[in-house]
């Protein structure tokens, strides 16, 4: 395991310990006084009505999928950016082709109104 | 409203359930006292059922159990953002019922204080609407400007918010001496804040996108819903009670009426900002045209003694210190001095308190004071009914007073301007998205006291 | 804290009291005219943020102090008690304005004559509306109350708080 | 149009429905029978000469104890009438409350075009339910009539959903009636104080 990886490993462990510790300590030390009124969901002071059990509108799903698609595309740019110097021109054109293909998809989605939030 | 509806349009077979969202009374966007049960399809509001009455405090019932001048504190708390306009409205309704004529200077004082009160209302409304859209800085600036104006109101009436400044037949006391100076000072600050607000908001991409094209209402619909005031003027109609049925001295002061065109939230914001400028113009013009102010009291006879000291000495039985003395009162003491009295109050003996010199000086004044103050006497208008409209900050604020000759009003009905606007709220909300509800409701400027009374 | 408070627990109690009194998360339950004075107090001129109480939280889950501001009508009373129940312990209630303390001059069929008939109140701020200085004074009294409740350990556990208040 | 023309316009159009009219303090007022409310309202709105496009207000006045409210004078026990009477006399006295019903439903109209106002007073008996609703002409009447029902118990025929607007559902009685005591409370929660 080269030196950099130990750094990342230590950072991960430290973060996990601190975050986990805060959550665990809070639940242990904090006193709990559950009363029926307190446990009811908060609806601006009224009895809760009509929580949506059924399916949600399609619009939410559409936007989520588009986001994931272009987010993953972005993730692929990171390794390329690190090795940008030694890949040279070949790497550059390769990445532009990759981005071009996804751009066609983006234009298609935009054109079909998937981005409009009716 | 049944909760399951098939999704209309393309995806007919996709059966999505509409969400019933209860935007309850204790919600910051609902100013704390309105409950909207919205049927949401995703973000679109399909139906909105508005539920009011959470601040119904029985104003009309209380005004039947208190004498005519006793209703004054209740009128402050109708539209508590511009209380002086309610005072002026109620007083002018009762004066119309009695048939009283109020001196010219008193009209000017009433115009000045109600215009200052209108500016504080617009400052609060625009500030709160901007804060609900995230512009917290504008809210802080506008409340700062409102503090300057509240200092002015405090100089005149003694209180910041619940002023009870007017009386039937006049005003409590004259303006303090040299009031134009601090007024000009406060207006300079207010104009600076309004300029800052313009630069922060009027071309702000987010603010314009949220306010433009949302909460649109046409002029016919607005009039059909009985909407008046900035809300109606933003749709293009020019109806302003100060211009169409002028009262007090509004016909002698020239000012313009701010009118929008599209009737959306942005226009209402611009109309209110312009109206603040016009109100300042009115106050400045009123200061020039106002008839002579009170000359400092120099009693013809006897040595001047301050009224409170005279009372104390009399209580001690120190007769010679009091004999031959003449009580001198400060200009802002209730009832005011004899010289100011003629310029700020009607001469109808049975409607307005006598000047303090008479009350402490002679028996007629004392009897007149007694007859007006003691329980059961008070002002007793003739039998009759009168409706008097006044231009409130949100629209036409009308008082309908019925009297059966007793010392107590038989019926006082308040026509609250934002009651009519709220009837149109569900129509404004339906079709828009949930995010449009906040700017629309912010520009309605719903004030609980005036809505639920 | 039943045993005689030793050095350590009193020091800890002081520290907790000090921390809680200067980080008040207030739920402004605003209804009527006092709301205008509440705005004036919360904004830059009188600035309640100097006392650490400047951050309004509009959800009872994240609020410590319930500021009841303005007249509470009988139609609003169940909403108010629901929100008061849903607040997390430790919680305090401030009655802001005379309508919440005693019902003010709206003595009629529509108004709750004082919110202490429906919930326990810690600090009463009279005034119609109370001037911002009154409000800041009331807030300081609340802070003293928080401080000495913690340092003396007298903080009543929620169960000890009377549920239904026969006035 | 001044007040007399306004009143004549309505009177000539509906001679039998109009029982009386006056312009006390310059407010043109027409007192109307209950059955003709919808037609008169339609006429007021559509007639180009009147063009009352704004229903300013719809309120109710309970005239059951009109005039009985003896002024609670300081010397009430002695029964000696006060001389001179503090009542401010009036040269053009008001013709008195409308006969024909305990309540009087008062409509205020305004025309933004012609800038004139008219008041329509409709006496209504208690518990009667054939008073037509004007919600179809002016949508603002929806809430105004709901408030009239909530506060006085005057019901309107043809109203989309006539239920309480200011008070809560469980409230019995109509608080603004003269026989409803001021502090008769019906709290939802909390003690009866």
- The CATH number of the domain holding residue A57 is 1.20.58.1610
Number of domains in chain C: 1
Q: Which residues of A1-118 form beta strands (DSSP E)?
A: none
Q: Is residue A117 in a domain?
A: no
Q: Which of C77, C107, C167 sits opposite D183 (nearest CB)?
A: C107
Chain B and chain A touch, per 3+ beta carbon pairs within 8 A: yes
User: Range of A7's domain?
Assistant: 3-111
Residues 6+ apart with CB under 8 A from D55: B226, D107, D108, D109, D134, D137, D138, D140, D141, D144
For residue C166, pLDDT over 60 is answered with: no
Q: Is residue C16 in a domain?
A: no
The stretch D124-130 carries a mean pLDDT of 87
CB contact under 8 A, C61 and A42: yes
Q: Is residue A82 in a domain?
A: yes
Write down the mean pLDDT value for chain C: 86
Residue-level pLDDT at C1 = 42
Chain D and chain A touch, per 3+ beta carbon pairs within 8 A: no
CB contact under 8 A, B52 and D166: yes
Q: Is residue C161 in a domain?
A: no
Quick one: closest CA in A to C157, which residue? A33
What residues of chain A lie within 8 A of the CB of B26, using their CB? 44-45
For residue D37, pLDDT over 90 is answered with: yes
Q: Does D191 contact chain C (CB < 8 Å)?
A: yes
* Among A36-50, D104-118, D145-159, the least confident range: A36-50
Residue-level pLDDT at C158 = 57
pLDDT band at C88 (very low <50, low <70, confident <90, very high): confident
Which residue(s) pair with B391 in the sheet? B396
SS3 of D155, please?
coil
CB contact under 8 A, D69 and B404: yes
Domains with residue ranges and CATH for chain B: 82-292+418-452 (1.10.645.10)
Residue-level pLDDT at D92 = 76
User: Which residue, among C57, C60, C65, has the nearest Cα to C20 in the 3D structure?
Assistant: C65
Rounded distance between C-alpha atoms, residue A47 and residue B132, angstroms: 25
Q: Is residue C72 in a domain?
A: yes
CB contact under 8 A, D67 and B405: yes
Distance (Å) from the alpha carbon of D149 to chain B's nearest alpha carbon: 14
Residue-level pLDDT at B3 = 42
Residue-level pLDDT at B327 = 62
What residues of chain D lie within 8 A of the CB of C165, using their CB? 191
Chains linked to B by 3 or more Cβ pairs within 8 Å: A, C, D
Q: Are B152 and B119 in contact (CB under 8 A)?
A: no
* Among A15-19, B338-342, C95-99, the least confident range: B338-342
Q: Where are the domains of chain D?
A: 1-69+91-193
pTM: 0.87
What residues of chain B lie within 8 A of the CB of C131, using their CB? 160
Quick one: closest CA in C to B160, which residue? C131
Chains linked to D by 3 or more Cβ pairs within 8 Å: B, C
User: Which residue, among B121, B414, B396, has the nearest Cα to B245 in the 3D structure?
Assistant: B396
What residues of chain B lie within 8 A of the CB of D87, using their CB? 380, 382, 405
Helices within B177-329 (DSSP H only): 180-197, 205-211, 219-224, 230-233, 241-244, 265-289, 307-316, 319-322
CB contact under 8 A, B411 and D87: no
Distance (Å) from the alpha carbon of C28 to chain B's nearest alpha carbon: 9
Q: Is residue C159 in a domain?
A: no
Q: Which helix (DSSP H) or strand (DSSP E) does residue C142 occupy?
A: helix C132-152
Q: Is residue C155 in a domain?
A: no
SS3 of C47, please?
coil
Give the residue with greater pLDDT, B6 vs D149: D149
Residue-level pLDDT at C98 = 94
For residue D184, pLDDT over 80 is answered with: yes
For residue D21, pLDDT over 80 is answered with: yes
Q: Complex ipTM, two decimals?
A: 0.86
What residues of chain B lie within 8 A of the CB of D86, using their CB? 350, 371, 377, 380, 407
B220-259 burial by CB neighbour count: b if 16+ within 10 A, else e? ebbbbbbbbbbbbbbbebebbbbebbebbbbeebebebbb
Please state whether B54 falls in left (phi above 0), alpha (psi between -120 and 50) or beta: alpha
Which residue(s) pair with A28 in the sheet? none
Q: Does D190 contact chain C (CB < 8 Å)?
A: yes
Distance (Å) from the alpha carbon of D66 to chain B's nearest alpha carbon: 6
For residue D61, pLDDT over 90 is answered with: yes
User: Range of C127's domain?
Assistant: 25-147
What residues of chain B lie within 8 A of the CB of D119, using their CB? 387
Q: Which of D167, D180, D187 sits opposite C77 (nearest CB)?
A: D187
Of A27, A31, A44, A45, which to mutate for an interface test with C (greatest number of C Cβ within 10 Å)? Answer: A45
Q: For the domain covering D1-69+91-193, report its CATH number.
A: 3.30.460.80
Chains linked to A by 3 or more Cβ pairs within 8 Å: B, C
The stretch C15-39 carries a mean pLDDT of 92
Q: Which helix (DSSP H) or strand (DSSP E) does residue B398 occupy?
A: strand B396-403
CATH number at residue C117: 3.40.50.12280
Going from the first residue of chain B to its last (453 residues), give the mean pLDDT of each consecutive group of 10, the final group possibly shorter: 43 66 87 90 88 93 89 93 94 90 89 95 95 93 95 91 89 84 94 95 93 92 93 93 92 93 94 95 93 50 65 75 64 60 79 80 83 76 91 94 88 94 93 92 92 90
Q: Which residues of B42-106 form beta strands (DSSP E)?
A: 44-51
- Between positions 14 and 53 of B, the ones with CB within 8 A of A are 14-17, 19-27, 30, 35, 37, 41-44
Rounded distance between C-alpha atoms, residue D191 and residue C77, angstroms: 12
Pairing between strand D103-110 and B44-51?
A: unpaired
Q: Does C6 contact chain B (CB < 8 Å)?
A: no
Half-sphere exposure in the Cβ direction for B193 (13 Å, CA): 28
C-beta atoms surrounding D80 within 10 Å: 9
CB contact under 8 A, B62 and C29: no
Residue-level pLDDT at B337 = 67
Pairing between strand C26-30 and B411-415?
A: unpaired
Number of domains in chain A: 1
* Cα distance between the two ends of chain D: 54
């Amino acid at each position: 395991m080269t030196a950099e990886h130990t750094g990342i490993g230590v950072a991960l462990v430290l973060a996990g310990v601190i975050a986990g510790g805060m959550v665990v300590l809070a639940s242990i030390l904090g006193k709990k006084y559950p009363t029926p009124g307190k446990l009811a969901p908060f609806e601006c002071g009224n009895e809760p009505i009509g929580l949506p059990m059924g399916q949600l509108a399609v619009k939410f799903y559409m936007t989520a999928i588009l986001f994931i698609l272009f987010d993953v595309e972005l993730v692929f740019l990171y390794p390329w950016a690190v090795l940008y110097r030694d890949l040279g021109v070949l790497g550059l054109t390769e990445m532009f082709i990759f981005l071009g293909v996804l751009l066609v998809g983006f234009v298609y989605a935009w054109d079909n109104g998937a981005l409009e939030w009716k | 409203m049944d909760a399951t509806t098939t999704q209309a349009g393309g995806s007919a077979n996709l059966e999505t359930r509409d969400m019933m969202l209860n935007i309850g009374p204790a919600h910051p966007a609902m100013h704390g006292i309105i409950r909207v049960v919205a049927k949401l399809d995703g973000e679109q509001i399909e139906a909105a059922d508005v539920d009011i009455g959470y601040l119904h405090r029985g104003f009309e019932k209380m005004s039947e159990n208190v004498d005519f001048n006793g209703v004054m504190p209740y009128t402050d708390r109708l539209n508590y953002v511009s209380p002086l306009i309610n005072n002026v409205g109620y007083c002018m309704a009762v004066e119309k019922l009695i048939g009283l004529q109020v001196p010219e200077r008193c009209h000017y004082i009433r115009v000045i204080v109600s215009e200052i009160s209108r500016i504080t209302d617009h400052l609060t409304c625009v500030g709160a609407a901007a804060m609900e859209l995230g512009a917290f800085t504008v809210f802080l600036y506008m409340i700062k400007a409102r503090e300057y104006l509240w200092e002015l109101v405090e100089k005149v009436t003694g209180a910041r918010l619940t002023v009870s400044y007017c009386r039937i037949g006049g005003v409590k006391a004259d303006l303090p001496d040299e009031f134009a100076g601090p007024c000009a000072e406060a207006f300079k600050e207010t104009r600076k804040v309004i300029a800052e607000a313009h630069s922060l908001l009027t071309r702000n991409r987010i603010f314009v996108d949220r306010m433009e094209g949302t909460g649109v209402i046409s002029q016919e619909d607005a009039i059909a819903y009985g909407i008046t005031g900035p809300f109606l003027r933003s749709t293009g109609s020019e109806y302003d009670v100060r211009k169409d049925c002028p009262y007090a001295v509004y016909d002698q002061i020239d000012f313009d009426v701010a009118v929008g065109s599209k009737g959306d939230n942005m226009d209402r914001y611009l109309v209110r900002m312009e109206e603040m400028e016009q109100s300042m113009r009115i106050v400045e013009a009123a200061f020039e045209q106002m008839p002579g102010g009170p000359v400092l009291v120099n009693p013809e006879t006897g040595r001047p003694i301050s009224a409170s000291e005279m009372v104390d000495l009399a209580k001690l039985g120190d007769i010679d210190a009091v004999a031959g003395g003449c009580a001198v009162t400060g200009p802002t003491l209730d009832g005011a001095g004899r010289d100011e009295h003629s310029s700020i109050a009607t001469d109808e003996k049975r409607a307005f308190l006598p000047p303090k010199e008479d009350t402490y000086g002679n028996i007629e004044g004392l009897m007149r004071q007694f007859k007006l103050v003691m329980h059961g006497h008070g002002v007793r208008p003739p039998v009759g009914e009168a409706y008097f409209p006044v231009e409130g900050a949100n629209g036409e604020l009308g008082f309908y007073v019925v009297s059966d000759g007793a010392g107590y009003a038989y019926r006082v009905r308040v026509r609250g301007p934002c009651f009519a606007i709220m009837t149109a709220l569900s129509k404004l909300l339906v079709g828009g998205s949930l995010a449009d509800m906040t700017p629309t409701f912010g520009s309605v400027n719903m004030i609980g006291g005036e809505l639920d009374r | 804290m039943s045993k005689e408070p030793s050095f350590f627990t009193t020091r800890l109690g002081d520290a907790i009291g000090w921390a809680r009194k200067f980080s008040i998360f207030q739920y402004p339950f605003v209804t009527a005219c006092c709301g205008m004075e509440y705005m004036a107090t919360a904004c830059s001129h009188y600035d309640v943020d100097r006392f650490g109480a400047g951050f309004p939280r509009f959800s009872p889950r994240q609020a410590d102090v319930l500021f009841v501001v303005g007249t509470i009508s009988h139609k609003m009373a169940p909403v108010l008690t629901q929100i008061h129940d849903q607040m997390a312990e430790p919680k305090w209630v401030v009655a802001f304005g005379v309508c919440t303390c005693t019902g003010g001059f709206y003595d009629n069929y529509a108004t709750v004559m004082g919110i202490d008939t429906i919930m326990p109140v810690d600090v009463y701020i009279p005034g119609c509306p109370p001037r911002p200085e009154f409000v800041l004074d009331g807030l300081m009294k609340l802070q003293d109350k928080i401080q000495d409740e913690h340092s003396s350990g007298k903080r009543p556990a929620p169960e000890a708080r009377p549920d239904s208040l026969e006035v | 149009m001044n007040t007399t023309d306004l009143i004549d316009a309505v009177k000539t159009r509906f001679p039998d429905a109009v029982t009386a009219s006056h312009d006390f303090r310059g407010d043109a007022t027409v007192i109307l029978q209950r059955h003709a409310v919808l037609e008169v309202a339609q006429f007021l709105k559509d007639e180009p000469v009147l063009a009352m496009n704004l229903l300013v207000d719809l309120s109710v006045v309970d005239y059951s104890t009109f005039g009985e409210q003896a002024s609670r004078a300081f010397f009430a026990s002695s029964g000696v009438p006060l001389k001179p009477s503090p009542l401010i006399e009036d040269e053009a006295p008001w013709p008195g409350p409308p006969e024909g019903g305990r309540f009087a439903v008062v409509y205020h109209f305004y025309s933004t075009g012609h800038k004139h106002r008219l008041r329509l007073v409709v006496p209504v008996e208690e518990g009667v339910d054939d008073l037509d609703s004007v919600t179809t002409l002016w949508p603002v009447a929806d809430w105004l009539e709901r408030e009239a029902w909530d506060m006085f118990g005057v019901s309107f025929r043809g109203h989309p959903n006539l239920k309480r607007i200011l008070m809560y559902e469980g409230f019995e009685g109509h608080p603004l009636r003269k026989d409803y005591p001021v502090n008769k409370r019906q709290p939802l929660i909390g003690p009866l104080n």
